[in-house]
Structure 1
Amino acid sequence: MEAAAASRSPRPSRLIIELDPPKGTNLQTFLDAALAIRGRVNGIRVTDNEHAIMRMAPLAPCLALRDKGIEPAMVINGRDRNRLSFQADLLCAAALGVKDIVIKQGHDAREGDQPLARTSGDLDLDTMLACVARLNGGKDLSGEDLDGATDFTIGVYLELSDDVNRNRQLADYLLKLKDFGVQSVTLSPTYDLNIIELFLPAAEQTGIRLYPSLLLLKSVTMIRYLNNLAGVPSIPQEFQKKMMQAADKKSAGLQVAADFLRELQPLGEAVVLVSLGWKDRLPEFLNLIER
């Protein structure tokens, strides 16, 4: 990995923020959080029942952002849809002017706030990508002509797991994504640079933009919980030690993320910041990184 690290070249300091829609009908708090960081970040991404926590669907928040002059990216997952509703929701988004999407399989519903929810099991990532490629080409998944094609900019969210990290031929897989018209790949959060570096040669070969993501660490308990999740890359001990030694754990979590952001930036075209309920502290974090 030393060779990969040595070959890193400086890149523009681009930062994309993920915001969760409200759990209810009130959009004002969501909009206040977005407006508080407008002009300080390069993009805002609206999540879709992230971590299987039921929230408002992302389309309405995206439209509310567009009304404020902010062009959002909309996450859309396959966990909560079959291929009919997936295509229907995409047509609706396109008709209303949302053009930037990020396709995600979605976390297991059993991990969320409504663990009895059932998933259709109809959509894997390849099927979702085939749907979007067809819609952009003026047809639906069954090959029927559309009365008006979509024009989506396509991003894909990849969970970092043992399967991705060890077994997949990454260059071949990213080439497959490129064939579907994928322009960017967002990697799920990790504090292990070695994992991200695995993707660099494949991203360079395919021309797909690579977006590492950064999770704000709220507590030592949170780190221990994440480190106990099967298949999820562990957070290195050094970060847990920094949090344990700090008197103010939450402020320490922001500082740890700010320091690590400097390491992440050379590895991708942009870094995606996962606020995970800390949208009220985003201005403080942006101050910390001098944005």
Structure 2
Amino acid sequence: MEAAATSQVSRPAPLIIELDPPKGSNLQPFLATALNLRGRVQGIRVTDNEHAIMRMAPLAPCLALQEKGFVPVMVINGRDRNRLSFQSDLLCAAALGITGIVIKEGHDPREGDQPLARTSGDLNLETMLTCASRLNNGKDLSGEDLDGATDFFIDVCLDLSDEASRNREMAASFSKLRDLGVQAVTLGPTYDLTIIEQFLPAAEQTGIKVRTSLLYLKSVTMIRYLNNLPGVPSIPQEFQKKMMQAPDKKMAGLQVAADFLRELQPLSDAVVLVSLGWKDRLPEFLNLIER
């Protein structure tokens, strides 16, 4: 499972990095990136066709990481599966020793590089969580006994672009997640601390861990683009101003992310560095935050 924070209050929240599998069969560049991060981050998540971009399935990269001594966490989405394949893939992961999973609904295929792809339409978030919970209890979704239960640490991604998910009754929502076997939630990227703070009382009440996500802002143009996307949490004007006023434009986005990380960490059991835009500059960012 992903590393948890120690009892030392002064220690910063663990960093978890998302890594995309290769778009092809060559795993060597993926493994080289992971090996360069050894000891600098406390967890590695392997994404599952993130942003609807076709890549290798996460299972093989997770197994390759295990062989190098890592304890990877596998992201799995419901967009590309029905309830049969979802359960089968989870059983396969468990048989190979993968114990950490992150459940996501998945982006719309029209956003990715295979816009003609169709979703199965068979799985919503509650069904996926029910599947994982029952597998942990030695049953399949239909209630049939399994020859060997799973032992997953279940994390679920909550999409902050869903206005309803932010405004619903948090305590009831988190209680339901806990009853479905969820042990942690990962909040989608936002630079608005007030959004994150809405989730904290319910998380503390239910004992569910909260992981926040940090997105590297490449440019002022990127901020404007994100702020014009319907339903996406707006990036506060102060961050756009910081980037515009920064003397070193190349470093501006990294410095803004580093400064915001300091604000995120006290609110988080861990901070997830999302895959979009991080791969090439991640070592530079880790140097900046002295990791």
Cα drift, residue 10 of structure 1:
5.8
- Equivalent-residue separation in structure 1 for 2:275 and 2:122 (angstroms): 30
Residue 135 (structure 1) aligns with: 135
Does structure 1 residue 229 correspond to structure 2 residue 229?
Answer: yes
Asked if the contact 1:10/1:266 (under 8 Å) is kept, the reply is no
TM-superposed deviation, 1:132: 0.6
1:148-197 Cα shifts (integer Å, max 9, x gaps):
1111110000000211222x111111110101111100000000000000
- Helix, strand or coil at the partner of 1:88: helix
1:219 — aligned with what? 219
Counterpart of 1:164 in structure 2 is 165
CA-based RMSD: 1.3
Q: What secondary structure sits across from 1:39 in the alignment?
A: coil
| Distance (Å, rounded) in 2 between the aligned partners of 1:250 and 1:48 | 30
Corresponding residue for residue 88 of structure 2: 88
Question: How much does 1:11 deviate?
Answer: 6.0
The answer to whether 1:259 aligns with 2:262 is no
| 1:209 partnered with 2:227 | no
Cα distance in 1, alignment partners of residues 231 and 32 from structure 2: 36
Which whole-Å CA distance do the structure 2 matches of 1:224 and 1:24 have between them? 33
Which residue type is aligned with residue 17 of structure 1? I
SS at match of 1:216: coil
What is the match of residue 6 of structure 1? none
Answering whether residue 37 of structure 2 is matched by residue 37 of structure 1, we say yes
Equivalent pair of 1:138/1:149 in contact (CA under 8 Å): yes
2:77–2:105 Cα contact (<8 Å) kept: yes
In 2, distance between residues paired with 1:53 and 1:228?
A: 22
SS of 1:211's equivalent in the other structure is strand
- Contact 2:25/2:56 (8 A) holds in 1: yes
**1:209 Cα offset (Å):** 0.3
Q: Does 1:184 align with 2:181?
A: no
Letter in 2 for 1:13: A
**By how many angstroms is 1:101 displaced?**
0.2
Is 1:17 the counterpart of 2:14 in the alignment? no
| Partner of residue 270, structure 2 | 270
Question: Any conservation in 1 of the 2:13–2:268 contact (CA below 8 Å)?
Answer: no
SS of equivalent residue, structure 2 residue 203: helix
Alignment correspondent of 1:70: 70
Q: Distance in 1 between matches of 2:225 and 2:54?
A: 21
Q: Which residue matches 1:5?
A: none
Report the CA distance between 1:288 and its aligned residue: 0.4
TM-superposed CA distance for 1:227, in Å, is 0.9
Paired with 1:280 and 1:65, the residues of 2 have a C-alpha distance of: 19
- For 1:108, the equivalent position in structure 2 comes to 108
Could you tell me which residue of structure 2 aligns to residue 245 of structure 1? 245
Matched-pair contact (CA < 8 Å) for 1:217–1:223: yes
C-alpha separation in 1, matches of 2:79 and 2:278: 25
Check conservation: 1:175, 1:206, Cα contact below 8 A: yes
Structure 2: runs of 5 or more not aligned: 1-8
CA deviations on 1:83-125 (whole Å, 9 max, x unpaired) are 0110010011001111100001011111111111100111000
- Contact 1:21–1:56 under 8 Å retained in 2: yes
Q: TM-score, normalised on structure 2? A: 0.94
CA contact (8 A) 1:11 1:265 kept: no
What one-letter code is carried by the residue in structure 2 that aligns with 1:106? Answer: G
Please tell me whether residue 155 in structure 1 is matched to residue 155 in structure 2: yes
Deviation at 1:277, TM superposition (A): 3.9
Task: Note if contact 2:216-2:277 (Cα within 8 Å) is conserved in structure 1.
Answer: no
Task: Using the TM superposition, give the Cα deviation of residue 243 of structure 1 relative to its aligned residue in structure 2, in angstroms.
Answer: 1.9
Gaps of 5+ in 1: 1-8
CA distance in 2, matches of 1:264, 1:242: 18
Secondary structure of the 1:232 match is: coil
Question: Are the aligned partners of 1:21 and 1:55 in contact in 2 as well (CA < 8 Å)?
Answer: yes
SS at match of 1:163: helix
Mapped partners of 2:25, 2:243: distance in 1? 36
* Partners of 2:91 and 2:147 in 1: CA distance: 10
